[in-house]
Amino acid sequence: MMSRKVPVETQKSPYALLKGLEISDVHIYGFLGDYLDRAANVTLPSMYEMLEKEGRIDNLRFASGKKKGTFKGFRFNDTDVHKWAEAVSFLFATKVDTELEKDLDCAIEEIRAAQDEDGYVDSYYPKDKRNERWTDLGWSHEMYCAGHLIQAAVAHKRVTGKNSLLEIAKRFADHIDSLFGPNKKPELDGHPEVEMALVELYRETDDPKYLKLADYFVRARGKGYASSSKYPGITREYFVDHKPFVELDELVGHAVRMLYLCCGAADLYLETGAEDLWRALERLWHDLVEKKMYITGGCGARAEGEAFGKEYELPNMKAYTETCAAIASFMWNYRMFLATNDAKYVDTMEQVLYNGLLSGISLDGKHYFYDNPLESDGTHTRKEWFECACCPPNIARLITSLPGYIYSLKKDDSAVFVNLYEKSTANISTRFGRMTLLVETDYPWSAQIQVRVIDSRITDPVAIYFRIPGWTRDFSVRINGEDINVQLQNGYAEIKKIWKTGDSIDLSFSMPIETIQSHPFVEENRGKIAIKRGPIVYCAEAADNDFEVRTLGLPKVPQLQFRCESIPVLGKIVSISGHGFAQDMKNWEGKLYIPTEKLREDKPVEARFVPYFSWANRTRGPMIVWIRSV
Amino acid sequence: MMSRKVPVETQKSPYALLKGLEISDVHIYGFLGDYLDRAANVTLPSMYEMLEKEGRIDNLRFASGKKKGTFKGFRFNDTDVHKWAEAVSFLFATKVDTELEKDLDCAIEEIRAAQDEDGYVDSYYPKDKRNERWTDLGWSHEMYCAGHLIQAAVAHKRVTGKNSLLEIAKRFADHIDSLFGPNKKPELDGHPEVEMALVELYRETDDPKYLKLADYFVRARGKGYASSSKYPGITREYFVDHKPFVELDELVGHAVRMLYLCCGAADLYLETGAEDLWRALERLWHDLVEKKMYITGGCGARAEGEAFGKEYELPNMKAYTETCAAIASFMWNYRMFLATNDAKYVDTMEQVLYNGLLSGISLDGKHYFYDNPLESDGTHTRKEWFECACCPPNIARLITSLPGYIYSLKKDDSAVFVNLYEKSTANISTRFGRMTLLVETDYPWSAQIQVRVIDSRITDPVAIYFRIPGWTRDFSVRINGEDINVQLQNGYAEIKKIWKTGDSIDLSFSMPIETIQSHPFVEENRGKIAIKRGPIVYCAEAADNDFEVRTLGLPKVPQLQFRCESIPVLGKIVSISGHGFAQDMKNWEGKLYIPTEKLREDKPVEARFVPYFSWANRTRGPMIVWIRSV
């Protein structure tokens, strides 16, 4: 089978309705395009320097014996290299970069050299620690590392056509398959990840043993194989090993582990159509979006155990909302979408992408958040790197694969789906011929989208489905200047015709500033509102406001205006401003509680709000998303 | 020195300004008296049954060899017996109870039998585990157990005059003193408690070695003696071992440990006058009341590590606010008061006592809270016992010692302090003769207090200082029916005269319903108010309200009425009611976020509020303290 340059390959998946358009067929120039450019120019080169500086590549050299020394840092540190390699591979679908290519080939060579004869490769367990391999699967992250290696290898193969990394990954996967699975060692990695990787390896190689192994790893979970009594004080929930996956009815435990497992289970569903998996996935998805997701799309409320909280447990200042959990949610929702073509999943992808996911990387492209709280006293700042550096390369691989998520095709190439709106071109091969779309928009700052067919070889009617975002209340569609009525199907507007060069579609979504209330059981948000416009959640930051933003109140019916402007560091964004009230902190000196009528009235202020994803790029200071309604 | 029946003996403490009136000289008949009666009739007898049923006494029998078996439960389980013994001892100052006396003597005999020849007594480490003693001080709680044994013994001696328990405690203390201290083993218990106990033992025996040892334990803390690397994942803060006590400037780590250490340091200050201790105590006290104390007086926000949170980290639903931490705060504030005669400390004692402390015991006297959250979804219920049962006997000993806190005397017996207001009689021996006061009041439901001198042998002017509670805005004082003007000194109104039989003082504090705002940095309370009347914090419980109380909103200037009424189970209380608004939960089905204008208006409701301490005694259901202001 020909490799297609996609982040998730469902071309032959029996239970997928859709497949992605190849990354190389989509060029992005807008809001997301800026991130892609920065990834190419700043993020990925600087990250390779960090991999060298922090000893991540050296760990591999120590393992191969190319360099003298011993492993440094967390045992899963190889994955920083693997995720970076995956990110660079995806980048190569749209950009040529000989420097990065050299770095990537060098990294692959270090991985290859570190591989043992039996296929094992994990620099924490070099040859002289061979006896310790697979003895501590709850904590060892060995399959987790294998998973990231496989994902990198599959991306590398799909984009570059090279087998160098894939061969390494296959040998490691074969080694794992020789040890684990039905009637072999009844064990599991404490950190899910290998499941979705194995499904992709199956898709890439057509070898069913990988799918079988993925199925085993998903279904054997919950039997205590990963979370034996060896880990006192750590719950089985932490390892997502407290119940079989198909019995789960709520998201608990370590958020990234849980969501990666959901990705793996969804991939497995796309191949097998197993109803029990799907029912569990749907239950968990409802639990996410109805009870455990921040308005920024982030999730995993608790720092303790990096875990999901109870339902409606969504503190703002203490929100953990790891960048990796946001990425995992995006990846899971995409798989749910491929199975259903239901826009509600893309709505969730959009919600997390433009808010709690891209907040994880700075606007200079080389500083990161590990956790993405929705309120700050000013002490939460971005870092260049982390001892546990899972988030930076994870967000890099997500960014470089972004072009692959924007459009989809029906599996039989009979229809096109426009999922995310981004200034872009897309070369689309349908079963009735090729066409090229040019999308022009200032999305997410504007919801005016002009789609032009700049070249068409279409011979028969082809449907284009445009996602009508869940946040909009009304919209209009014009074809070649004429308004048309469209029906929504699963949140998509269908337009079907024989597309001609020069055809144009104008989409317009109403995108007023909205004030949002959250479920009353979220104690932190009770009596408060958040500001949203289109997909963008706003915050008030000290950098824009000369009062203590945490005291800000807005009137019940706030008069808010938006303005497209260029702000130093932030660049061109839409800011929002309006009249509000703030408290004088002098009244509170040395006091924790004051009778209400002893307080002087709030003083009137003019407040400015900026997109949440852009916070903490300027002067350090307090930040707030949920604002009391006064 | 004659034993005086007081919870803390400062008669000879050089740096105490005050000393307690003896428990046996105070009879209480009001709000607190009901708790004392229930302690005698229900709490203490039922608790002894639990001690037997749960194997706490059996553990001692196993250690002495009187019964075959091995230690069961947590290693500090002996302290449940010790605290119960202390509670029963205090009770005997005001009540005769032959059944409880029999139980107490039986328990003391079991402790005696379990004592080793060298004085060691801790049933977790019986003779055959002798080699393990003192080898794991971070976790072993051996000195913590010794501390509670000493406290029980001192109380027992003071109240009953018997030496039986004191001899046991002294032998254990001597054993500890032979091993630890300056130039001996540089180690410490991971859980402070023994410090204040040793100071009391010094006070009771006049033997300075105990004071010296207490001084060592307080001052050697923070050098890592208790929190070595033996406890991976546990911070030095948890053990309050991260800094020397005198360098502490904020409350961190395990709340009960930290506050017991503050008690010990305050006791040490009362004896030594060490300025460095006092400065640290004052810094920590300001940190408590200005940044880390709930409106209920509870503290220790985090369940994780049973710890103080950061400043202003005061979540309501997740509030841990352990009953023991409330008790520890009460005990610490009392010691601060003895050193200063400043009413601000008694204000804090009152705030915690009538709210977050007494909430820890049910109105039937035999069900308990371990944690005392300020909001509930209805799942938080009282328990008859806990595996870790520190709180029940702790609240019992606090309740039976309550009469000892209500009045104080100047050290030279020249003046009387009335600290807490309770229907009571007090026999007071001043340096100018004896007098008996009768206090009549419905406090905390009313702030009208009539004090009558029902018998006086006073020959010279004696000052009586009445605390004017910090929560009142104005007050009046009448003597024999005539208004007088008084000056406040440290929050106390002084009235000095030669008191005659028949003299009466009428105190009246204005006690309107107050709505309270909290510091804007407490994110959970922003835009919300709490209802308070006098010392009592109110809550809305499902039992009184036919709407979802967590959705309740009150108008900016709420019209609230109070009513003295008798409510089934709760008995005679003052309830508060008023018009408010609640949301219809149907609007929220399957939704986490809704644009504000899509919500139907809140529906008007009539809300009823009951005292926080009384919640969760009736139908199980949600509860809320902080109510959004709409």
Contact B592/A518, CB-based, under 8 Å?
A: yes
Any B CB within 8 A of A440 CB: no
Q: What is the pLDDT of residues A549-608, one digit of tens each?
A: 999 999 989 999 999 999 999 999 999 999 999 999 999 999 999 999 887 678 999 999
Query: Are A79 and A145 contacting, i.e. CB atoms less than 8 angstroms apart?
Result: yes
Whole-number Å distance between alpha carbons of B210 and B220: 15
Residue A108 has pLDDT above 80, yes or no: yes
Structure tokens at A383: 């870092």
Contact A596/B293, CB-based, under 8 Å?
A: no
Nearest CB to B596; choose among A315, A517, A524: A517
Least-confidence region, from A458-467, B415-424, B462-471, B595-604: B595-604
Q: What is the pLDDT of residues A262-310, one digit of tens each?
A: 999 999 999 999 999 999 999 999 999 999 999 999 999 999 999 999 9
What is the reported pLDDT for A505?
98
Q: What is the pLDDT of residues A199-211, one digit of tens each?
A: 999 999 999 999 9
Within 10 angstroms of residue A425's Cβ, the number of other Cβ atoms is 17
Taking the CA of residue A528 and the nearest CA in chain B, the distance in Å comes to 7
Query: Are B277 and B224 contacting, i.e. CB atoms less than 8 angstroms apart?
Result: no
Query: Are B291 and B346 contacting, i.e. CB atoms less than 8 angstroms apart?
Result: no
Whole-number Å distance between alpha carbons of B76 and B74: 5
Side chain identity, residue B224: G
Query: Are B592 and A518 contacting, i.e. CB atoms less than 8 angstroms apart?
Result: yes
> Which are the contacts of A53, defined by CB distance < 8 A and separation ≥ 6?
none
Query: Are B148 and B85 contacting, i.e. CB atoms less than 8 angstroms apart?
Result: no
Residue A232 has pLDDT above 90, yes or no: no
- Of the candidates B449, B452, B428, the residue with the CA atom closest to the CA atom of residue B438: B452
pTM score = 0.94
Query: Are B26 and B407 contacting, i.e. CB atoms less than 8 angstroms apart?
Result: yes
Any B CB within 8 A of A584 CB: no
What is the reported pLDDT for B229?
65
Candidates B344, B374, B523, B627: best to mutate against A (most CBs of A within 10 A) is: B523
Any A CB within 8 A of B491 CB: no
Q: What is the pLDDT of residues B482-513, one digit of tens each?
A: 999 998 999 999 999 999 999 999 999 999 99
Any B CB within 8 A of A1 CB: no
Taking the CA of residue B253 and the nearest CA in chain A, the distance in Å comes to 15
Residue A235 buriedness (CB in 10 A; 0-12 / 13-18 / 19+): middle
> Which are the contacts of A350, defined by CB distance < 8 A and separation ≥ 6?
A420, A469, A535
What is the reported pLDDT for A614?
98
Any B CB within 8 A of A623 CB: no
- Of the candidates A626, A317, A521, A594, the residue with the CA atom closest to the CA atom of residue B313: A317
Nearest CB to B551; choose among A520, A524, A597: A520
Contact B550/A521, CB-based, under 8 Å?
A: yes
3-state secondary structure (DSSP) of residue B26:
strand
The confidence band for B602, taking pLDDT boundaries of 50, 70 and 90, is confident
What is the reported pLDDT for A227?
77
Mean pLDDT over B73-77 rounds to 96
**Which chain B residues contact residue A515 at CB under 8 A?**
595-597
Query: Are B40 and B90 contacting, i.e. CB atoms less than 8 angstroms apart?
Result: no
3-state secondary structure (DSSP) of residue A234:
coil
Any B CB within 8 A of A596 CB: yes
Comparing alpha-carbon positions, the chain A residue that sits nearest to B312 is: A592
> Which are the contacts of B485, defined by CB distance < 8 A and separation ≥ 6?
none
Any A CB within 8 A of B553 CB: yes
The confidence band for B226, taking pLDDT boundaries of 50, 70 and 90, is confident
Whole-number Å distance between alpha carbons of A89 and A161: 10
**Percentage of chain A lying above the pLDDT 90 cut:** 95
Which element (helix H / strand E) includes B385?
none
Q: What is the pLDDT of residues B115-140, one digit of tens each?
A: 999 999 999 999 999 999 999 999 99
- Dihedral pair phi/psi, residue A407, rounded to 5°: -120, 155
Contact B523/A317, CB-based, under 8 Å?
A: yes
What is the reported pLDDT for B224?
87
The confidence band for B599, taking pLDDT boundaries of 50, 70 and 90, is confident
**Which chain A residues contact residue B553 at CB under 8 A?**
527
Higher pLDDT: B141 or B233? It is B141
Candidates A347, A592, A605: best to mutate against B (most CBs of B within 10 A) is: A592
Nearest CB to B593; choose among A313, A518, A548: A518
Taking the CA of residue B528 and the nearest CA in chain A, the distance in Å comes to 7
What is the reported pLDDT for B543?
97
Nearest CB to A551; choose among B315, B520, B626: B520
Within 10 angstroms of residue A10's Cβ, the number of other Cβ atoms is 24
Residue B393 has pLDDT above 90, yes or no: yes
Any A CB within 8 A of B283 CB: no
**Which chain A residues contact residue B380 at CB under 8 A?**
none
Mean pLDDT over A316-333 rounds to 98
Q: What is the DSSP string of A278-301?
A: HHHHHHHHHHIIIIIB-TTS-B--
What is the reported pLDDT for A329?
98
Residue A1 has pLDDT above 60, yes or no: no
Taking the CA of residue B611 and the nearest CA in chain A, the distance in Å comes to 18
Residues within 8 A of B (CB atoms), A 377-436 only: 377
- Of the candidates B122, B48, B46, B116, the residue with the CA atom closest to the CA atom of residue B81: B48
Taking the CA of residue B526 and the nearest CA in chain A, the distance in Å comes to 7
DSSP A543: G
Q: What is the pLDDT of residues A268-280, one digit of tens each?
A: 999 999 999 999 9
Residue A427 has pLDDT above 60, yes or no: yes
Which element (helix H / strand E) includes B579?
strand B571-582
Q: What is the pLDDT of residues A370-396, one digit of tens each?
A: 999 999 999 999 999 999 999 999 999
Query: Are A348 and A419 contacting, i.e. CB atoms less than 8 angstroms apart?
Result: no
What is the reported pLDDT for A597?
83
What is the reported pLDDT for B225?
87
Query: Are B493 and B449 contacting, i.e. CB atoms less than 8 angstroms apart?
Result: no
Residue B526 has pLDDT above 90, yes or no: yes
Comparing alpha-carbon positions, the chain A residue that sits nearest to B528 is: A527
Q: What is the pLDDT of residues B338-354, one digit of tens each?
A: 999 999 999 999 999 99
Contact B527/A630, CB-based, under 8 Å?
A: yes
Candidates B238, B526, B589: best to mutate against A (most CBs of A within 10 A) is: B526
**C-alpha gyration radius of chain B:** 24
**Which chain B residues contact residue A524 at CB under 8 A?**
315, 523-524
DSSP B22: P
What is the reported pLDDT for A518?
96
Candidates B554, B586, B592: best to mutate against A (most CBs of A within 10 A) is: B592
- Of the candidates A18, A30, A590, A39, the residue with the CA atom closest to the CA atom of residue A360: A39
Comparing alpha-carbon positions, the chain A residue that sits nearest to B581 is: A527
Any B CB within 8 A of A234 CB: no
What is the reported pLDDT for B598?
80
Whole-number Å distance between alpha carbons of B265 and B253: 17
- Of the candidates A50, A111, A163, A83, the residue with the CA atom closest to the CA atom of residue A400: A83
Query: Are B151 and B86 contacting, i.e. CB atoms less than 8 angstroms apart?
Result: yes
Q: What is the pLDDT of residues B249-307, one digit of tens each?
A: 999 999 999 999 999 999 999 999 999 999 999 999 999 999 999 999 999 999 999 99
Any B CB within 8 A of A306 CB: no
DSSP A16: -
Structure tokens at B58: 């059996």
Whole-number Å distance between alpha carbons of A133 and B111: 51
Residue A3 has pLDDT above 90, yes or no: no
Query: Are A8 and A328 contacting, i.e. CB atoms less than 8 angstroms apart?
Result: no
Within 10 angstroms of residue B473's Cβ, the number of other Cβ atoms is 11
DSSP A592: S
What does the mean pLDDT of chain A come to? Answer: 96
The confidence band for A2, taking pLDDT boundaries of 50, 70 and 90, is low
Q: Tokens 């400037």 label which residue? A: B249
Query: Are B115 and B173 contacting, i.e. CB atoms less than 8 angstroms apart?
Result: no
Whole-number Å distance between alpha carbons of A104 and B1: 83
Taking the CA of residue A64 and the nearest CA in chain B, the distance in Å comes to 32
Taking the CA of residue B328 and the nearest CA in chain A, the distance in Å comes to 20
Whole-number Å distance between alpha carbons of A152 and A144: 13
Q: Tokens 């009001």 label which residue? A: B30
